[in-house]
C-alpha cells in the first residue's frame, strides 16, 4: 500500500511541476513582451557609446524561480518513479549541484559583461527590437535547469529508498 501512496504523490508532483513550469514560462513570455528600459546605473539619460546593463529584471527573476520550482518538482517526481536508479542517487546529486553551480557562474559572468551594440549602414526599423543573447547566457540557463532537475531527483530517490514503517516493525 505505501507504494500506491508514493505513486499518488508522484502524480501530484508531476501535475504541480507542470503548473509551475507553465506559469513560469508565461511570466517570462510576458516579461519579454514589455518595453525594454535601459538602465545605466544612474538616473541620468543614456548618451551614445555608454555602457548598458542587461541584467535580469524582477519579473524575469520571478519567472525563472517559478519555472525552476516546477523543474525541481519534476525531478522529485522522477526520482520517486525511477526505482532502478536509486543506487546512483549520490551521483545525481553531485552532477546536479556541479551543473547548477556552473550555470549560475556562467550567468553571473555573462551579466557582468559590457554590451555594445548599434546599427550599421542603415537606420533601424521602427518596430525592430534588438535582444542580444550570448552563448554563455544560453549555456548557463541550460546548466541551471539540468542541474536543478538532477539535484532534485536525489530527493525523490532518497524518499523512495526509505524503508516502510511496517517493514521496520515486523
Digit-coded pLDDT (tens) for 55-73: 677 888 899 999 999 999 9
Domain boundaries, the chain: 2-120+132-169
Count Cα neighbours of 104 within 13 Å in the Cβ-side half-sphere: 10
Cα dihedral angle (96, 97, 99, 101), rounded to 10 degrees? 160
Range among 81-85, 88-92, 124-128, 163-167 rated most confident: 88-92
Confirm if 86 and 156 have CB atoms less than 8 A apart.
no
Instruction: Tell me what pLDDT residue 78 has.
Output: 85
The verdict on pTM exceeding 0.75 is: no
Amino acid at each position: 500500500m505505501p507504494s500506491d501512496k508514493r505513486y499518488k504523490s508522484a502524480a501530484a508532483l508531476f501535475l504541480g511541476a507542470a503548473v509551475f513550469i507553465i506559469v513560469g514560462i508565461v511570466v517570462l513570455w510576458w516579461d519579454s513582451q514589455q518595453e525594454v528600459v535601459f538602465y545605466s546605473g544612474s538616473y541620468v539619460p543614456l548618451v551614445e557609446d555608454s555602457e548598458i546593463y542587461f541584467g535580469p529584471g524582477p519579473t524575469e527573476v520571478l519567472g525563472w524561480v517559478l519555472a525552476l520550482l516546477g523543474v525541481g518538482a519534476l525531478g522529485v517526481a522522477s526520482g520517486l518513479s525511477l526505482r532502478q536508479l536509486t543506487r546512483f542517487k549520490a551521483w545525481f546529486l553531485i552532477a546536479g549541484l556541479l551543473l547548477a553551480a556552473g550555470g549560475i557562474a556562467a550567468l553571473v559572468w555573462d551579466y557582468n559583461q559590457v554590451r555594445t551594440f548599434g546599427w550599421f549602414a542603415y537606420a533601424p526599423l521602427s518596430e525592430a527590437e534588438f535582444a542580444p543573447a550570448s552563448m554563455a547566457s544560453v549555456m548557463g540557463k541550460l546548466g541551471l535547469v539540468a542541474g536543478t532537475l538532477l539535484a532534485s531527483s536525489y530527493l525523490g530517490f532518497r524518499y523512495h529508498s526509505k524503508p516502510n514503517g511496517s517493514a521496520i516493525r515486523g
